[in-house]
Structure formats: C-alpha cells, structure tokens
Amino acid sequence: MKYLNWICFLTVFLILTGNTTALAKDDESLKRMNLYKKTEAVTEIPWEYIAAVDQYERQVYDDPSEGRVTAIQVDPLFWSGTPEKIQADIFPEGWGSDGDGDGKADIENDEDILWSIGNYLKSYGTKEEDIKIALWNYYKRDLTVQTIINTANVFKKFQTVSLTDRDFPVPKQANYSYRSTWGDARGFGGRRIHEGTDIFANYGVPVKSTTYGVIEMKGWNRFGGWRIGIRDIYNIYHYYAHLQNFSEDIKVGDVVKPGDVIGAVGASGYGPPGTSGKFPPHLHYGMYQDNGKNEWSFDPYPYLKRWEKMAE
Ligand SMILES: [Zn+2]
C-alpha cells in the first residue's frame, strides 16, 4: 500500500512539474507574440518578419539573455553609430531608440530593440521585397535573409510561433527498417562518411515532411539523386534523398507542415540524372544546423526514434 501511495505521489508530481514547464514556455511565447504585434502596430512591419528575425537570432545566440524574452543581439555600431556599447540614457546616433517609453534607448531591452529593428526595416518599406533588401544590408548573408523570409512565411501561414509538432518521415504502417549508421564509411564519390540515417522501405512508400518549414531545394544531386531540402524555423536543413519521385504539387518556396507528403521512397542517385537501382531503395535522411556562420551535420537517429514513438 505504501508503495502504491508513492507511485501516486510521483505521478502527480511529474504531471504537475511537466505542466509548469509547458505553461512557462506558453507564457513566454505569449509575451513574445504581444511584443511582435505591438511592434507591427507602431512600425507597420508585419509581425511575422519581426518574429522571424527573433527566431533566427535564437539559433545564433541560443537563449535570450537574463530578463529578456527576445533573443536579438544588436550590434553597437547599428545601435549607437560607434563600435562601443554606450549608456542607455545617452541618445544614440544610430538606429537605437526608446520603444517602451522610459526615456532610454537600452540595447538590452526587448521593446527598445524590436522598435529599433522595426524602424530600420520600415525605412526600406513594408513589402517583402523591401524587407529583403533591409535584411541583406543588416546581415550581409544570402542564406540568412532567405531563412528569415521563409520563417516569416511559416509564421504567417500558421499564425503562431509555437510550432513544435513533428512526424516520422515514412508511414508507421509501411514496412521499413533503420538503424544508427552515423559516420559509416561510404563507397561512392571518394572518402566520405555517412551523414544521416537510411530508412529502408519499398519503392513508392510515401515520404513525409518531419517538420514545419519551407522547401529550399528540389532536384537532382549526383550523390542524393532526386532530393528535397526543407529548412525549419530552427534553421535546421532536413535532407531527403534517393527519392523515386516528388509530390506533384511540391515546389521550392512552399510552406510545409509535419506529415505533408513530399515524394516517394526510391533508389535514385550515384550518377547522372535519372540513375537508379544502384542500391536497395531507401530514404536517406540528413539534418544540418546553420548558425549564421557555419553549417554542420548531426545525427538524426535519436530524433527519428522520438518522432517514431510520437507518431500514430
Ligand atoms: Zn544514407
């Protein structure tokens, strides 16, 4: 009996603590959303672009600094016109300005930062084409601009920044098998290591997007055959290779959600366009993280295991 009580206590404890964490996260994204919407109201820059800049910087700087809910770190040169950080109560000569009305332009204040970034973007105009140019002049990196614009399109479509659902890339009813093969040696194309997980399945088994994101790449690649690349809102590039074909209505720039069918399992690749059957049919699935400077691959196997468990 005592033992049973313990289990009850533990279960209640786990449910409570689990809920508190989830609530704290909801609370934070609600606060962020309010700030994005407020910035839109005063700058006319649609909230999803402000949110996408914040989301992008979240991958560059990890978590927001103490006492903040947004992750954007502004360059002092942009803020005050000098490379040194200046005091909040000195009026800056750059883009830094006072968003929350406390008479200070504080480079560590969420509202001041969003207001300043919003004003900067607005100086180029409020259309996507204008915002693209403003972002390019701010970040000077094509992939960064593209990622922010794509993330904004995802936020716009789903009207939220809390997009945590995931799916397993092949239907669980299908016959498939996979194991951890990270770092195995490859035969084709010289000395390479295996950067991904192979999910073996029959020709034609549907391949699904595992995540919310945007189709960034679609076409032939000598190693990957017919392949699709999807970048998610966490600046992770999901790579689906050796496909037999693509879903008819899928094109670069499309917003996708977990479970959307993007193609079918095949054995394409290892030669010029159309080469197929040089190995058993399988989906090669790879994940690449970008941090604004570099891109590196990491092992998708543990994630696949988790999504497989989560999928119905
Ligand atoms: Zn592979």
9 has a pLDDT exceeding 50: no
Distance 212 CA to ligand 1 centre (A): 22
Distance CA 100, CA 65 (A): 18
Distance 300 CA to ligand 1 centre (A): 11
Q: Considering the domain boundaries, does residue 171 fall inside one?
A: no
Q: What are 143-160's pLDDT values in tens digits?
A: 999 999 999 999 999 999
pLDDT band at 7 (very low <50, low <70, confident <90, very high): very low
State the CATH number of the domain containing residue 272: 2.70.70.10
Distance CA 105, CA 119 (A): 13
Distance 196 CA to ligand 1 centre (A): 6
Distance 198 CA to ligand 1 centre (A): 4
pLDDT band at 67 (very low <50, low <70, confident <90, very high): confident
- Neighbouring residues of the ion ligand 1, judged by CB less than 5 Å: 196, 198, 284
Boundary (domain end) residue, out of 101, 126, 158 = 158
Q: Considering the domain boundaries, does residue 62 fall inside one?
A: yes
pLDDT band at 191 (very low <50, low <70, confident <90, very high): low
> What is the domain range of residue 108?
2-158
> 156 exposed, middle or buried (CB, 10 Å; 0-12, 13-18, 19+)?
middle
Answer yes or no: do 147 and 200 share one domain.
no
Answer yes or no: do 72 and 186 share one domain.
no
Mean pLDDT of the chain: 89
Answer yes or no: do 151 and 185 share one domain.
no
CA-wise closest residue to 56 among 216, 232, 229, 234 = 234
pLDDT reported for residue 88: 62
Answer yes or no: do 114 and 252 share one domain.
no
3 has a pLDDT exceeding 60: no
205 has a pLDDT exceeding 50: yes
Distance 181 CA to ligand 1 centre (A): 8
Q: Considering the domain boundaries, does residue 60 fall inside one?
A: yes
Distance 235 CA to ligand 1 centre (A): 21
Distance 294 CA to ligand 1 centre (A): 22
Distance 31 CA to ligand 1 centre (A): 41
Answer yes or no: do 12 and 88 share one domain.
yes
- Packing angle between helix 110-122 and helix 47-60, nearest 10 degrees? 120
Look at 14-18, 63-67, 77-81 and tell me which has the smallest mean pLDDT.
Answer: 14-18
Look at 139-153, 166-180, 187-201, 277-291 and tell me which has the smallest mean pLDDT.
Answer: 187-201
Answer yes or no: do 54 and 86 share one domain.
yes
Distance CA 226, CA 228 (A): 7
The conformational region for residue 183 under phi > 0 = left, psi -120 to 50 = alpha, else beta, is left
pLDDT reported for residue 82: 75
Boundary (domain end) residue, out of 129, 158, 187 = 158
Q: Considering the domain boundaries, does residue 39 fall inside one?
A: yes
Higher per-residue pLDDT: 183 or 48: 48
Distance 49 CA to ligand 1 centre (A): 35
Answer yes or no: do 199 and 298 share one domain.
yes
Answer yes or no: do 109 and 253 share one domain.
no
Q: Considering the domain boundaries, does residue 99 fall inside one?
A: yes
Q: Considering the domain boundaries, does residue 169 fall inside one?
A: no
Answer yes or no: do 153 and 17 share one domain.
yes
Mean pLDDT confidence for 15-42: 77
pLDDT band at 169 (very low <50, low <70, confident <90, very high): very high
pLDDT band at 90 (very low <50, low <70, confident <90, very high): low
Q: Considering the domain boundaries, does residue 163 fall inside one?
A: no
Distance 195 CA to ligand 1 centre (A): 7
Distance 164 CA to ligand 1 centre (A): 26
CB atoms within 10 A of CB 142: 9
Q: Considering the domain boundaries, does residue 231 fall inside one?
A: yes
Boundary (domain end) residue, out of 158, 188, 206 = 158
Answer yes or no: do 265 and 146 share one domain.
no
* Total structural domains within the chain: 2
Answer yes or no: do 266 and 195 share one domain.
yes
Answer yes or no: do 153 and 6 share one domain.
yes
